[in-house]
Amino acid sequence: MLDVKTFHMSTFIPMPYEEALAPRLKLAQDKLQSGSGAGGEFTGWVHLPRDYDREEYARIQAAAAKIRSNSKALVVIGIGGSYLGARGVIECLQSPNYNQKKKDGPNIYFVGNGLSSDAMGEVLDLLDGVDFSVNVISKSGTTTEPAVAFRFFRRLLEERYGREGARERIFATTDRKKGALKSLADSEGWETFVVPDDVGGRFSVLTAVGLLPIAVSGVDTDALLRGAAEMMELCSKPGYGCPAWRYAAARYQLYRDGRSIEILGCFDPAFRMMAEWWKQLYGESEGKEGKGLFPASVEFTADLHSMGQYIQQGRRLMFETIVRFGPSARQLCVPEDAADGDGLNFLAGRSMDFIRDKAAEGTLLAHTEGGVPNLIIEAGERNAQSLGSLIYFFEYACGLSGYLLDVNPFDQPGVEAYKQNMFALLGKPGYEARRSDLEAKLAK
């Protein structure tokens, strides 16, 4: 079971912070459990692993099986919370090289998460002569990036299969009732899945948003939900027996002590997109009202040869949270070499895991001695059940952390600013006044 180790940060904080923070965590806990805190209408994810819609879950499995049988590619269109979780889970559990490595099932391409013509054009080219389906995901149904991408891929589908044929290949994940995507899906007869009203984008990976693409990749979604349900059970009981309490308390205390950056690190490159998911979860939930830790991520050991310098000796602004998984599925040992020209025979016969673990221990000691507190999250074996637990753990700790900071962890008013400007500059009807104002500023 997942564990949070605080020993290598506690030496930086001599006071018994856990005891001092317990009453505030209890209040935060009550708010999450009852949905009575700021943004409480978006706490549907708290009991989701128990209360999810079984009928829809069966439809997700059926849709995944259909896509696997009639498509050689699935194009997943979405951005932010409608994208990162699915990609993170697929890369972590299948592989960052999933498309090259998989034995069966379709390739999976993620688009609509940016505005690069070249990136999208590349995927359009890759679909040449390839049977494909589309899962378009947008809770609001109006986000520009996925909406623009969907136009291209819908057109390609309709040209290739006709409107009727395309209907069999478009799956829309969106609001239950409202939004442009929902209206379009209803009028065109596409199969739809729901982003529940009470679950915000960045907390939606365990809804249809994440589950459909994840199921298509062949990951065991039952195990993922089982792991999340186990963690939900643990988190339902107040107290430091809950790992999310330990994590939330430690990072909050470090923040109060002047550490304004949290670096999430992992020694497994397959975790890279999960770290991106984590950054969105914490960045969007905490970063408001001039408060919040800045979430950054590193991939070790690669980044020890780049960011490692700053972490060791740069400004003392940060702490590290290291996610550790159990033994690798594949044990490779360093070969013996009679000539020993590279002087590496002292490692001959040693497993890569052994070398990695020594590197991790050496890094931990170097960084803490360099003044960087370390938190360690022991996540268990890298499998669907453990990852489900880890996802729920991070979500729950994020909710607790937001309430400790006294912000609404479930809104994101700040992301509107760029959107308003972009709409105005693009000439969207209704934004005329803002447009002239912005263009005058740009002309300076």
Q: Which residues are catalytic?
A: 284, 305, 419
User: At its nearest, how many Å lie between ligand PA5 and the CB of residue 407?
Assistant: 15
What would the two tokens of residue 329 be? 């599925």
- Length of the chain in residues, anyone? 444
Helices (H), 260-332: 272-286, 307-313
Q: Are 28 and 404 in contact (CB under 8 A)?
A: yes
Q: How far is the CB of 66 from ligand PA5 (least distance, A)?
A: 23
CB of 146 to ligand PA5, least distance (A): 6
Cα–Cα distance between 23 and 36 in angstroms, integer? Answer: 17
Comparing every residue's Cβ against ligand PA5, the nearest one is 201
CB 414 within 8 A of CB 287: yes
Cα 86 from Cα 63, distance rounded (Å): 16
Half-sphere exposure of 394 (CA within 13 A, CB side): 30
The residues with which 318 forms a beta bridge, in sequence order, are 261
Work out how close the CB of 399 gets to ligand PA5 at its nearest, in angstroms, rounded to a whole number: 13
Q: Is 269 left (phi over 0), alpha (psi -120 to 50) or beta?
A: alpha
Residue 280 vs 374, nearer CB to ligand PA5: 280
Q: Which is nearer to ligand PA5, 86 or 311 (CB)?
A: 86
When the beta carbons of 143 and 363 are compared against ligand PA5, the nearer one is 143
CA distance 251 to 108: 35
CA distance 86 to 169: 19
Helix (H) / strand (E) element for 263: namely strand 261-266
Chain residues binding ligand PA5 by CB under 6 A are 79-82, 138-140, 143, 146, 200-202, 284, 412
Which lies closer to ligand PA5 via its Cβ, residue 80 or residue 243?
Answer: 80
Shortest reach from residue 150's CB to ligand PA5, in Å: 11
Nearer to ligand PA5, 140 or 351 (CB): 140
| Structure token digits, residue 123 | 């995927």
